[in-house]
């Protein structure tokens, strides 16, 4: 029977089968990645629209700084907003975080 070597664990396993250590036990992923591309709502359309908004306005809408810029939905996706340049404003990371925390506090109280 031919075997294959797992590049991660450096162990042999039967060819055509996954490494048993990669699928269970130590080294297995318990939670999926939480980056923007796997969130489902932030797809390629969002990435393009955000990059276009930052290109058109390379400063924060709130404080005017020009470093660590992010895109922010004016109307959130959960409330029916879209991933379009018209619904995106450019904020620095600190203003975006401050805005999100304020929104969460309004919603819970």
pLDDT in tens, 34-84: 555 545 567 788 889 999 999 999 999 999 999 999 999 988 888 888 888
Give yes or no for a contact between 81 and 73, defined as CB atoms under 8 angstroms apart.
yes
Q: Which two tokens stand for residue 57?
A: 């306005």
Q: What's the mean per-residue pLDDT of the chain?
A: 79
CA distance 4 to 86: 51
The answer to whether domain 44-108 has CATH 1.10.30.50 is yes
CA distance 67 to 50: 15
CA distance 88 to 28: 37
- Which pLDDT value is given to residue 109? 44
CA distance 92 to 67: 7
DSSP state of 17: S
Better pLDDT: 99 or 104: 99
Domain layout of the chain by residue ranges: 1-30, 44-108
- Which pLDDT value is given to residue 91? 94
């Amino acid at each position: 029977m031919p075997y294959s070597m797992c590049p991660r664990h450096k162990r042999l396993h039967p060819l055509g089968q996954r490494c048993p250590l990669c699928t269970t036990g130590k080294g297995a992923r318990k939670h999926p990645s939480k980056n923007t591309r796997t969130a489902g709502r932030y797809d390629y359309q969002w990435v393009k629209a955000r990059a276009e908004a930052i290109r058109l306005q390379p400063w924060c809408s709130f404080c005017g700084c020009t470093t660590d810029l992010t895109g922010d939905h004016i109307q959130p996706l959960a409330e029916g907003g879209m991933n379009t340049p018209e619904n995106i404003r450019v904020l620095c990371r600190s203003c975006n975080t401050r805005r999100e925390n304020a929104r969460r506090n309004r919603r819970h109280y």
